[in-house]
Each structure stands twice: as structure tokens, then as C-alpha cells.
Amino acid sequence: MRSYIKYVFVGLLFFKSVLAQNSVDAQLDYANKIFESSKYFDAITEYKRVLFFSSDKKYYSKLYYQIALCYKAGAHLDEAIKYFVLSEKHASNDSLAFNAKIEIIRCNILRKSTARALQLCNELEDDIRFASKKDEIYYWRGWAFMFADDWENAAKCFSQSKDYNELIMLCGQVVKDKVSVTFAKVISYILPGAGQIYSGKIFSGLMSLVWSLAAGYLTVNAFMANRAFDGLLIAELVWLRFYRGNLENAEDFAVEKNMLAANKTLKYLENEYKGVKP
Amino acid sequence: MTKTHIAFMSFFLLIVSIAKSQTNVQSDFFSNNNRLKFANHLYNEKDYLRALGEYKEILKLVDNDTIRFRFANSFLKVGRYDEAAQNFKTLFVSSKLQEEAKFSYYQTLFFSGDYNDFRINYDGGFYLPQKYYKVIDRLNSATYFLQQANLPGESKLIKPFDDSVQTKLIYFSQMIKNPPKKNPVTAALLSAAIPGAGKFYSGEITDGLIALGATLLSGFLAVNNFQNNHQFRGWLFTGLTAFFYGGSIYGSAASAKIYNAKLKSDLNKEIKLYFEERNYFLPKIEL
Amino acid sequence: MKKLVYISFLWASFSFAQTDWQKWEAKDISYLLPAKNEQKLLTRNSSLVGTVLNSLKSVYSFTISNYDGDNCPFTPTCAVFFVESVERTNIAAGILMFADRFTRDMNFLKDTYRYSLHKNGKHFDPPSNYTLNSHQIIFEPEYND
């Protein structure tokens, strides 16, 4: 009889532990529901609760991952990265580790820490465990370059896979729409206003040209009439001023035009692009 | 009671516990006891806002001094001072933590920045904790240093502090009471006599030199052009001279004002940093 | 002064605060490249002086300042400084303030420690500091974004 009682108690304990496991799963479901209803702050609380009570380490990676996703959704990228790192550390298999690491890269892309994103991409690429996932690494490397306004390198990365034709096209378009800042400045050195006209600001370019010609004429005129003081004054206060302004404008307009081109595509990527985004 | 009875009861217990757990799978996580464990964990991790939420739920069922104190202290830590003060107040009577609560209550008044409210409480002797009397005295002095106004006598102000910091504090109080200000009127008059001299007076040497140079040069050009019968240019440079002269007088007065404001702002920063670095001379209380 | 202490206190407590010490909501992250901030030249004053100033400013921008480059080491630029000075005070005081600024602008040995640096890389020198009203003097620029 006594042994029978023993069995009952052992059974009781066993059921208890199974039930505890079930309750961890149930709590996880509950947290996930809050996550799905976009209440990320509260979802973190619930994930932390599971983390606190769960003695089973198999949950850790998943929980850290979810917490990180919450922070990411709240645009708290530093915290998100902190938790993705924890998730990677506790990952029980390669697939979990890879996903966490990719998320760290995506956060770095979003917070525009490009160097770090690229470094992590390289690490992943060199890791033989992930040899079959090269395409995904190329994909995020391309995104890192796009966020860093380096569209030529982005296009190169995307062209390493067959599946990213739309992105290659988008990058190509930006490269085509961009103008050369150096070229704009150089031609404005030679002919004031030329750089502005090259960037599409025709009126502004003409005004620069007119000012430089007029001030130049007045300066030369003053020197010809032996009014050296006036000549120096006009040269310094008027001519050089507008000449310098012309160079600044040539650069500014080219930069502005390039930014417009880049932002047009970035806006499309943010709002309309259907593929996976960082 | 026979052994069969015991076995039967155990079996019954097992069934009950299974049934109970299945209907109420999550009850474990949200039992008051577990909530408290979790809340304390959050509190120790300095995750105060989340801890607050847990303590709030716990307090609906149990009220004890430590929980209430931590609840209030969480409010203090996240900067919700009114709620912190309210909750500390509930511990003022017949609580084993009443001294700590009173001390923390004064902290909420202090960190909320409402120094007048702090002093009303302090001067009226309301809720002063015996155990932390000297700490509150120091906080009270700190309000005067940080506000830089209506300083009481130096001995009263400095008394609660250790000897080692008194020299510095005396220096602060002297600087607050008698700052080495510049007088804007003096600056303006100086520049009226010699253009730019007022800027020298308020420490802007190069600005003063440029003001002097610009006024003299345009004045010289005005005279020179009149002498050479260039009427238009003469008047043009006369206007420019007046422009620079007026500007230097006005600018000197303004620079004295800025000098004084800078003096105050720098002192303010220095005092703030001094107290901040020493955590306002507060003792460490682990609760 | 009390306000200042108050604000700096709040600032200090927030800057140390953890992300989670205040409840936050979901937030999108913009993909766009950060834009350069432009200085607003026009005044909102609808009086006669305001109108005249605005038309003067428009003509000035349209014919000159758009083409003569970024010559002013200060923010706001001298022209904006003048407009704001007149807005804050009156024509006479505005001209005096502008004359003083113009003189300081000519100072090629600018004591840089005097001015704090604005995020656009220029010396922060707002007209409010020169109205002879101590309460309006600010040393650090405030950013809206």
C-alpha cells in the first residue's frame, strides 16, 4: 500500500511539472496576443514574466527575440539590438542564431550604422554554417548600402542573386538620376552658374552668371580708371562674394538633387515596396 | 484512518489539482505571491514602470509597508512625483518604514523642482523624519544653492554639511550673493566716450577693437570725402559712422547684460554639477 | 531662473531615464535621408513694418542672398537677425542691434568660446540675447525635432 502512495505522489509531481510547462506555453500565447495587438510595451512585460518564471532554457532565445521585436517596433533600436544579441547567445540551433543575427543587421541598417551592418554581414558570410543562406546576406548588405546612399554598391550586392531584379532596377534608377557634385563644382569654377544649370536650376544659374559678370566688369572698370581702392573693395565685397556663392550653390543644388533622387526611392521602399524590409 | 483512506485522498487531491490547473492555467503567474516575486525582480532591475504596474495589482489584495514603499519609490524613480508623494504619505502613521517614507517624501518634493513646496514643508516642520534630519537639512540648503535666490545666513546654510565641503559651499554662497557683475550703463557710457571701450570693460576685447576701428575708419573717410568735396560719399560715411557708433554703445550695454547672464548660468551649472556628482549628499537606502 | 533650474532638472532626469521609464507606443522609422535645415527668412508680423520688412526680405533673397553664398558665420544670419530684432523691439533698437551684430561679424578674431555651436555648425547668436532683457538671454540653442 505504501508503495502505491509513493507512486501517487510521484505521479502528482510529474503532472505538476507538465502542467507548469503548459502554463508557460499558455503565458507565452497570452504575451503573443498582446504583441499581435501592437501593445509592445505591455508585451515586453509579459515576455519578461515568462522569462522570470520559466526555468527551461529552451524558451530563452525565443523570449529575448520577441522582446527585441517589441523594442524594434517602438523604434528603440539600441535596446532591440541588446535583446537580439541575447537571443543569439541563447539560440539552441543555427537557424535561431541566424535569424537573430539577421535582425541585428536589420536594426543596424535602420539606425544607419552602416559600417556595423556590413561587418556583421561579412561575419555571417564567412560562417560555414550559413553557406546555404548567402542570398539573404547579399540582400541585407544591399539594403545597408541603400540606407547609406551608396546605390552603386547596393546594386552590385543585389545582382549577386537572381531574385532581386526590382531592387537592382530601383538602384539603377537612382544612379541614373544623380548628378556629379564634383563636375557641377568644376564647371562652375570655369563658368559661374554652369553647375547650377547642370543640376536643373536654370534661373539661379543665370543670376549667378549675371552677378559675376557685372561685379567683374565693375572691378575691372575701377582698376582701369586707377581707382584701386574701389576696385579692391568691389572685388572683395561683391565679385568674390558672388563667385563663392556660385560655387556653394553649384554644390548645394547638386547635393539637393541627389538627395531628392535617393529619397524618392527610399520613400517608395518605405511605403510601397512589397518585399521584406529591415 | 486506514491506508486506503490515505490513498483515496491522495488520488482525490491529484484529480482536484489537475482540474484546477487546467481551468486556470495562468493562475500561477498571476497569483499574488508570484506577482510579488516578479515585481521585486523588475524593481531590482530598475524596470520601475513595469514594477509599478505589478505592485498596483498586488496592493489591491494585500497592503504591506514594504510593498507600498516600493510602489511609491518606483513613482519617485520614474519622475511621477505627485503620485510618489501621495503614496509615501500613507506610510507616515504607524508604519515601520515611516522614517524612510518621510525622508523619501522630501526627496519627491526636492526632485520635482518645486522648492517652494519643499520649504513650506521644511519650515513648517511637517513630516520631518528624526532619523534623517540632517539629510533633509542638507536638501533644504541645496534648494537655495540651486535656486540662487533668497539665501538665508551663511552659517545656517552651511551647517549641515561636512567640514570638507564647506569652503566650496561658502564660495558658492558668496558668488550668489555678490557676483562680480558688469554694469550695462557703465559699459554704454564708456563706449559713448571711446567707441568699443564698453566692450573692453565686459571682456570682449577683439569686438571692442573692431568697433573702435570701424567707427574711426568710417569717421576718417567721412571727413576725408567732405574735404575733397565728395558730398554724397561724405554723408554716406557719416551715416556709417553713426551706425557703428550707435551700435557700439548699444552693443556694449548688451554685452554687459550677457556677461552677467553668463556669470549666473555658469555658476548655476557649476553648482548643479557639484551637487549632482555627490548625489545631493543623500545616504544610500536599500529598500 | 527657477524655470531654468526646473527644466534642466527634468532634462537631467530624462537623460538618465531608461527607455522604459515612460510608456511608449509603436513608432515607424523613416527611411529618408536627413534633410538640411533651412533658416526661415520671413517674419509673421502682419503690421505695416512687417509687410515692408517681408517685401524687402523677398527682394533681398530673390536678387542677392540666394546667390552670394553662405558668408555669415552666425545663426541666424545677419539678415534674419535684423528682421527678428525689429520684430522683437522696434525699428530704432533693431538697427542698433543690427549695427552691433554687423560689427561683431567683422571681427575676424571671433572668440569662439563666446558662442555655442549650433547643430548647423554656426555660432549661435539669437537676437533675443541683445534686447537688454536678461530673462531672454539663452546660451544653448533649442531644437524642435
| Chain C residues touching residue A259 (CB < 8 angstroms) | 33, 35
What pLDDT is attached to residue A241? 86
B262/C139 touch (CB, cutoff 8 Å), yes or no: yes
pLDDT tens for chain C, 145 residues: list them.
444 444 444 444 443 347 899 999 999 999 999 876 555 555 555 566 777 777 877 887 777 777 877 778 888 888 889 988 998 999 999 999 999 999 998 888 776 677 888 888 888 999 999 999 989 999 988 876 5
The verdict on residue C141 lying in a domain is yes
Q: Which of C114, C127, C120 is nearest to C143 (CA)?
A: C120
The verdict on residue C92 lying in a domain is yes
B49/C100 touch (CB, cutoff 8 Å), yes or no: no
User: What are the extents of the domains in chain B?
Assistant: 29-127, 132-178, 184-274
Q: Which three cell numbers stand for residue C25?
A: 507606443
| B52: CB partners within 8 A, 6+ apart | B71, B74, B75, B78
A30/B21 touch (CB, cutoff 8 Å), yes or no: no
Cis peptide before B129 (omega within 30 of 0): no
Instruction: Point out the residue among B49, B111, B214 whose CB comes nearest to the CB of C106.
Output: B214
Residue C124's DSSP bridge partners are C75
C9 → chain B, closest CA residue = B113
Q: Which of A99, A128, A163 is the last residue of a domain?
A: A163
**Are A145 and A31 within one domain?**
yes
CATH of the domain at A71: 1.25.40.10
The verdict on residue A176 lying in a domain is no
| A177: CB partners within 8 A, 6+ apart | A257, A261, A264
Structural domain harbouring A17 = 2-163
**Are A16 and A65 within one domain?**
yes
Strands C74-75 and C123-124: parallel
B26/A26 touch (CB, cutoff 8 Å), yes or no: yes
Q: Which residue has the cell 509579459?
A: A46
B77/C20 touch (CB, cutoff 8 Å), yes or no: no
**Are A36 and A149 within one domain?**
yes
Q: Please give the residue that has the higher pLDDT: either A120 or C58.
A: A120
**Are A256 and A209 within one domain?**
yes
What pLDDT is attached to residue A30? 94
In this complex, the chains that touch B, judged by 3 or more CB pairs closer than 8 A, are: A, C
Asked if A134 contacts A128 with a C-beta cutoff of 8 angstroms, the reply is no
Q: Which three cell numbers stand for residue A30?
A: 497570452
Q: Which three cell numbers stand for residue B71?
A: 510602489
Quickly count: other Cβ atoms within 10 Å of residue B181's Cβ. Answer: 14
What residues of A are in the B interface, CB distance below 8 Å? 1-2, 4-5, 8-9, 11-12, 15-16, 19-20, 22-23, 26-27, 30, 44-45, 48-50, 52-53
Asked if A175 contacts A258 with a C-beta cutoff of 8 angstroms, the reply is no
The verdict on residue C45 lying in a domain is no
Most A CBs within 10 A among C28, C29, C66, hence the mutation to make, goes to C29
Nearest-neighbour CA in chain A from B76: distance (Å) = 20
| A128: CB partners within 8 A, 6+ apart | none
Nearest-neighbour CA in chain B from C124: distance (Å) = 14
**Are A147 and A206 within one domain?**
no
Instruction: Point out the residue among A23, A45, A48 whose CB comes nearest to the CB of B28.
Output: A23
Rounded to whole angstroms, the Cα distance separating B174 from B107 reads 26
Nearest-neighbour CA in chain B from A71: distance (Å) = 14
**Are A238 and A141 within one domain?**
no
Block means of pLDDT (10 residues each) for chain B, length 287 residues?
62 54 58 94 95 95 93 96 96 92 96 94 93 94 92 90 94 94 97 96 93 95 94 94 96 96 94 95 87
Q: Work out the angle at residue A237's Cα, subtended by the Cα atoms of residues A185 and A218, and round it to the nearest 5 degrees.
A: 90
Domain count, chain C: 1
> Mean pLDDT over all residues of chain A?
91
Residue C74's DSSP bridge partners are C123
B7/A4 touch (CB, cutoff 8 Å), yes or no: yes
The verdict on residue C133 lying in a domain is yes
Structure confidence by residue, pLDDT tens digits, A181-236: 999 999 999 999 999 999 999 999 999 999 999 999 999 999 998 888 888 988 88
Report which residue type is found at A49: R
Asked if B195 contacts B216 with a C-beta cutoff of 8 angstroms, the reply is yes
The verdict on residue A278 lying in a domain is no
Most A CBs within 10 A among B15, B50, B52, B225, hence the mutation to make, goes to B50
CATH superfamily for domain B29-127: Tetratricopeptide repeat domain (1.25.40.10)
**Are A190 and A101 within one domain?**
no
Most B CBs within 10 A among C10, C21, C97, C128, hence the mutation to make, goes to C21
Q: Which of A112, A130, A163 is the last residue of a domain?
A: A163
Long-range contacts of B71-76 (CB under 8 A, 24+ apart): B72/B101, B72/B104, B73/B104, B73/B287, B74/B43, B74/B48, B74/B49, B75/B108, B76/B104, B76/B107, B76/B108, B76/B111
- SS3 string of chain A? CHHHHHHHHHHHHHHHHHHHHHHHHHHHHHHHHHHHCCCHHHHHHHHHHHHHHCCCHHHHHHHHHHHHHHHHHCCCHHHHHHHHHHHHHCCCCHHHHHHHHHHHHHHHHHCCCHHHHHHHHHHHHHCHHHHHHHHHHHHHHHHHHHHCCCHHHHHHHHCCCCCCHHHHHHHHHHHHHCCCHHHHHHHHHHCCCHHHHHCCCHHHHHHHHHHHHHHHHHHHHHHHCCCHHHHHHHHHHHHHHHHHHHHHHHHHHHHHHHHHHHHHHHHHHHHCCCCCCC
Q: Which of A121, A137, A163 is the last residue of a domain?
A: A163
* Residue A134 Cα to chain centre, angstroms: 20
Rounded to whole angstroms, the Cα distance separating B253 from B287 reads 55
Least confident of A137-151, A164-178, C114-128: C114-128
Domain count, chain A: 2
How many CA atoms lie less than 13 Å away from C119 in the CB half-sphere?
Answer: 10
Q: Which three cell numbers stand for residue B15?
A: 484529480
The verdict on residue A206 lying in a domain is yes
- Beta carbon pairs, A and B, within 8 Å: 58
Rounded to whole angstroms, the Cα distance separating A179 from A185 reads 11
A242/C70 touch (CB, cutoff 8 Å), yes or no: no
Q: Which three cell numbers stand for residue B157?
A: 546654510
The verdict on residue C144 lying in a domain is yes
The verdict on residue C26 lying in a domain is no
C130 → chain B, closest CA residue = B254
Structure confidence by residue, pLDDT tens digits, C62-91: 777 778 777 788 888 888 899 889 989 999
Q: Judging by beta carbons within 10 Å of its beta carbon (0-12, 13-18, 19+), is residue A3 exposed, middle or buried?
A: exposed
B25/A26 touch (CB, cutoff 8 Å), yes or no: yes
The arithmetic mean of pLDDT across residues A248-276, rounded, is 94
Rounded to whole angstroms, the Cα distance separating C103 from C28 reads 47
**Are A37 and A87 within one domain?**
yes
B113/C10 touch (CB, cutoff 8 Å), yes or no: yes
What pLDDT is attached to residue C107? 85
Q: Which of A270, A275, A77 is nearest to A158 (CA)?
A: A275
Structure confidence by residue, pLDDT tens digits, B118-166: 999 999 999 999 999 999 999 999 999 999 888 898 889 999 999 999 9
DSSP annotation string for B120-156: HHHHTTTT--STTHHHHHHHHHHHHHHHTSS---HHH
Structure confidence by residue, pLDDT tens digits, B19-37: 444 444 455 889 999 999 9
Nearest-neighbour CA in chain C from A274: distance (Å) = 15
Q: Which residue has the cell 544610500?
A: B284
C3 → chain B, closest CA residue = B113
What residues of C are in the A interface, CB distance below 8 Å? 19-20, 23-33, 35, 63, 66-71
The verdict on residue A28 lying in a domain is yes
**Are A220 and A156 within one domain?**
no
Q: Judging by beta carbons within 10 Å of its beta carbon (0-12, 13-18, 19+), is residue A36 exposed, middle or buried?
A: exposed
